[in-house]
């Protein structure tokens, strides 16, 4: 989920404190829930079958499941061809999605055995349905990923028509290329696992790089959390002349530039980061001017917050009046 971290000038020599604002908190009012209307085609079908039942058909005798009571319930009931199931990674998000669509979450049983194995059983029929599985592969990444694969397999074996994996946080997205010899491309491996498990479509949010979509042999819908962050910044009424967008590293320049373009073509600054290992960053210097300005630092994935913390400290040192650290994926431990 999109998150925004804000820090004011530090009162001590330590790194500035951060507060997390989730995208759920940015929208105080959700749109009105939409209710699904009855299908007029099915309603007309029910009326025609009633006429046949009361006329010629009754002379030959109709089975019990075609009697008026059963037919009315089957055709005009609240049955829907869309099912939404939630994993254990973020059930609150899945519940909010279901409420927005005017549906109820599907009943599913997920438990873990003593040795850590995951058990999944659907508690309702999904035969011929369009199934959406909301499950992020955030920490613990391996358990949540395995849970998603088993959920997909359960739906496939239950004869679901279409299975869409809704993955707000796509784990292993960093390993999307080889930068050194003898490295694995884990993002491609995860894509293969999801495809082979039986998913027919993937809906992901803010992938680490666009090339990850090409790793899937099934359609991928790529959505962005950027509008939520832009709406929040717009609510702060920051003067465009006092705004500068900062990339926390050279690799995020394209992302920061696209962000700056939507903020009235704000100027761009770059943090020169020298990384000596995974999740270990050493900020060296700043390219650009942030003195007396409001700095908006844009990143895509935060887990240890090392880069963001050191980057914010550097921006304050260079004279930034205020720092907003924005991330579409923020995971804190």
Averaged pLDDT, 26-41: 44
**252-261, pLDDT tens digit by residue?**
898 899 889 9
- Residue 248's alpha-carbon distances to 15, 170, 253, 273, in angstroms, are 16, 21, 8, 7
Residue 46 exposed, middle or buried by CB count within 10 Å (0-12, 13-18, 19+): middle
- If you average pLDDT over every residue of the chain, what do you get? 80
In whole angstroms, what is the distance from residue 307 CA to residue 149 CA?
A: 32
Q: Could you tell me where in the chain the CATH 3.40.50.2020 domains are found? A: 3-26+226-330, 82-223
- Residue 56's alpha-carbon distances to 59, 65, 297, in angstroms, are 6, 17, 74
- Residue 284's alpha-carbon distances to 13, 194, 313, in angstroms, are 18, 40, 12
Fold of the domain built from segment(s) 3-26+226-330: Rossmann fold (3.40.50)
**What residues form DSSP beta bridges with 162?**
130
The pLDDT, as a whole number, for residue 257 is: 92
Nearest to 194 by CA among 137, 149, 128, 242: 149
Report residue 44's pLDDT band, with 50, 70 and 90 as the boundaries. Answer: low
Contact 172, 137 (CB under 8 A): yes
Report residue 61's pLDDT band, with 50, 70 and 90 as the boundaries. Answer: very low
Averaged pLDDT, 243-267: 90
In whole angstroms, what is the distance from residue 147 CA to residue 144 CA?
A: 5
**What residues form DSSP beta bridges with 220?**
202
**What residues form DSSP beta bridges with 111?**
119
What Rg value do the Cα atoms of the chain yield, rounded? 25
**What residues form DSSP beta bridges with 323?**
7, 295
With H, G, I as helix, E, B as strand and everything else as coil, classify residue 244.
strand
Report residue 132's pLDDT band, with 50, 70 and 90 as the boundaries. Answer: very high
Fold of the domain built from segment(s) 82-223: Rossmann fold (3.40.50)
Nearest to 202 by CA among 128, 144, 149: 149
Report residue 214's pLDDT band, with 50, 70 and 90 as the boundaries. Answer: confident
Report residue 280's pLDDT band, with 50, 70 and 90 as the boundaries. Answer: low
With H, G, I as helix, E, B as strand and everything else as coil, classify residue 180.
coil
**149-201, pLDDT tens digit by residue?**
999 999 999 999 999 999 999 989 888 888 889 999 999 999 999 999 999 99
Identify the DSSP state of 25.
H
Q: Which residues contact 301 (CB under 8 A, 6 or more apart)?
A: 173, 174, 208, 327, 329, 331
- Per-residue tokens: 92: 């609150």
Nearest to 272 by CA among 211, 318, 229, 319: 318
């Amino acid at each position: 989920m999109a998150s925004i971290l804000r820090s004011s000038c530090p009162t001590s020599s330590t790194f500035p404190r951060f507060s997390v604002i989730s995208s759920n908190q940015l929208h105080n009012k959700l749109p009105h829930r939409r209710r699904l209307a009855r299908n007029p085609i099915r309603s007309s079908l029910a009326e025609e079958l009633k006429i046949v039942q009361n006329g010629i058909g009754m002379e030959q005798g109709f089975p019990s499941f075609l009697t008026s009571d059963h037919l009315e319930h089957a055709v005009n009931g609240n049955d829907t061809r869309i099912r939404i199931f939630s994993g254990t990674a973020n059930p609150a998000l899945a519940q909010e999605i279901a409420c927005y669509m005017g549906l109820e979450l599907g009943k599913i049983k997920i438990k873990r055995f003593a040795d850590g194995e995951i058990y999944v059983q659907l508690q309702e029929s999904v035969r011929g349905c369009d199934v959406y599985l909301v499950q992020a592969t955030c920490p613990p990444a391996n358990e949540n990923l395995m849970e998603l694969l088993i959920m997909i397999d359960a739906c496939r074996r239950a004869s679901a028509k279409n299975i869409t994996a809704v993955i707000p946080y796509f784990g292993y997205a960093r390993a999307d290329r080889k930068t050194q010899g003898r490295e694995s491309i884990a993002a491609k491996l995860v894509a293969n696992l999801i495809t082979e498990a039986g998913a027919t479509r993937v809906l992901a949010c803010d992938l680490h790089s666009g090339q990850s979509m090409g790793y899937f042999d099934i359609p991928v819908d790529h959505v962005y959390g950027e509008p939520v962050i832009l709406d929040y910044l717009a609510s702060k009424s920051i003067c465009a002349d006092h705004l500068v967008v900062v990339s926390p590293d050279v690799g995020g320049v394209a992302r920061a530039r696209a962000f700056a373009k939507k903020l009235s073509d704000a100027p761009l600054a770059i943090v020169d980061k020298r990384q000596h290992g995974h999740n270990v960053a050493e900020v060296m210097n700043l390219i650009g001017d942030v003195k007396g300005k409001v700095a908006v630092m844009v990143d895509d994935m935060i887990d240890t917050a090392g880069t963001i913390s050191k980057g914010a400290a550097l921006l304050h040192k260079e004279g930034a009046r205020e720092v907003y650290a924005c991330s579409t994926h923020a995971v804190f431990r």
